[in-house]
Amino acid sequence: MTNALSAHLSAPDRYAATIDSATAASYLATQKPASRVRVARVDQYADAMTAGKWVAEVATLTFDEQGALVDGASVLRAIIQSDTAVTVTVATGVPIATAQYVGIGRGHSLADRIRAEFTYPELVAGIVNLELANQAGIDVVNTPRKAYVPTGTDYALANQPALEAASVRASRIISRVRGILPRHLAWVLYRATAIDAADASTFFNRLEDGVLLETGSPVLQLTQYLGRVQRPREQQRKTIGMLIKAWNLYRDGSRAKLTFKAGGAEPEDIPAIR
């Protein structure tokens, strides 16, 4: 499942660098003519930099073997626009043949950019978007499907085995379990597996096959709830909240009633996965 791009990006010629306006301008001078920069993204980056919300590793600048910039032009323009020095990851010498897999400025989605790497790229894209949003403290239910494209590919390649396993497993479960969006189920599976692989395997096996479920089991309660969901896209907050709560109760060995307050003046926050 590994192509030349992922192999190259793990090589020594990939490093962190702080880029200021002058350096950004010099890098832009090497940009390939085919690259295009979306103004909305530039403005978004510039606003984040000016507000001091920029996070290291939030972008990667990629140069091909001839020294031409093939990825990251929008970030460089935002650095110039905001007149701010920003720490980014720089990858140099990327083979021209693999340049098709990069190109933030050309508007490629995360799923498009990792399509050659994973069996279920859409599920992996969903997991990565939700995980990066969660790490940034953003409400995962309101995370755009194509958010975090700059860091998404880096994160996906760095965590490839776990993401591949989670997406393959989730694809089988979602064919049997209705009532929840695939990306939400896949993300919780990915996080749960990182916490305790054995518990996660048992929990999601029971969720999928519905056997050996005792009265009061959080998995049984979750299965019964999901079976009643008619429009999962309209009930995202509740379904992902119930899934995470069921997992947490399962880990605690609790048979407490599975509930989640999704509406009202003070809707319940989606709990942390533990």
**Is residue 10's pLDDT more than 60?**
no
Domain end position, chosen among 79, 108, 137: 108
Buried b / exposed e over 172-207, threshold 16 CB at 10 Å, is ebbeebebbbbbbbbbbbbbbbeeeeeebeebbebb
Decide: residue 116, CB within 10 A, 0-12 exposed, 13-18 middle, 19+ buried. Answer: middle
Domain end position, chosen among 93, 108, 123: 108
Are residues 84 and 205 both part of a single domain? no
Are residues 77 and 198 both part of a single domain? no
Distance between CA atoms of 76 and 83, rounded to whole angstroms? 10
Instruction: Give the tens place of pLDDT for each residue, 214-230.
Output: 788 899 999 899 989 98
**Between the CA atoms of 31, 34, 40 and 44, what dihedral angle is there, to the nearest 10 degrees?**
-30
Are residues 81 and 96 both part of a single domain? yes
Phi, psi at 162, each rounded to 5°: -65, -40
Contact 30/63 with Cβ under 8 angstroms?
A: yes
Are residues 101 and 171 both part of a single domain? no
Q: Which domain holds residue 231?
A: 110-274
Are residues 88 and 184 both part of a single domain? no
**Is residue 25's pLDDT more than 70?**
yes
pLDDT at 64: 78
Contact 21/49 with Cβ under 8 angstroms?
A: no
Are residues 57 and 130 both part of a single domain? no
Are residues 118 and 239 both part of a single domain? yes
Token pair in block for residue 49: 């930099």
Q: Tell me 80's DSSP state.
A: H
Are residues 69 and 166 both part of a single domain? no
State how beta strands 14-19 and 60-64 pair.
Answer: unpaired
Phi, psi at 70, each rounded to 5°: -115, -10
Residue, of 56 and 123, whose pLDDT is higher: 123
Are residues 104 and 114 both part of a single domain? no
Q: Which of 9-13, 35-39, 188-192 has the lowest mean pLDDT?
A: 9-13
Are residues 80 and 117 both part of a single domain? no
Instruction: Give the tens place of pLDDT for each residue, 58-70.
Output: 677 888 777 888 7
39: confidence class by pLDDT, cuts 50, 70, 90: low
Mean pLDDT, the chain, rounded, equals: 80
Are residues 103 and 151 both part of a single domain? no
106: confidence class by pLDDT, cuts 50, 70, 90: very low
pLDDT at 116: 61
Distance between CA atoms of 26 and 206, rounded to whole angstroms? 57
Q: How far is CA 12 from the centre of its chain?
A: 25
Instruction: Give the tens place of pLDDT for each residue, 183-215.
Output: 999 999 999 999 999 999 999 999 998 776 778
Are residues 18 and 67 both part of a single domain? yes
What is the tally of structural domains in the chain? 2
Phi, psi at 93, each rounded to 5°: 80, 20
- C-alpha distances in angstroms, 203 versus 101, 217, 225, 226, 246? 36, 11, 16, 15, 9
pLDDT at 257: 93
Instruction: Give the tens place of pLDDT for each residue, 118-177.
Output: 888 888 888 988 988 888 787 888 766 655 455 577 778 778 899 999 999 999 999 888
Domain end position, chosen among 50, 85, 108: 108
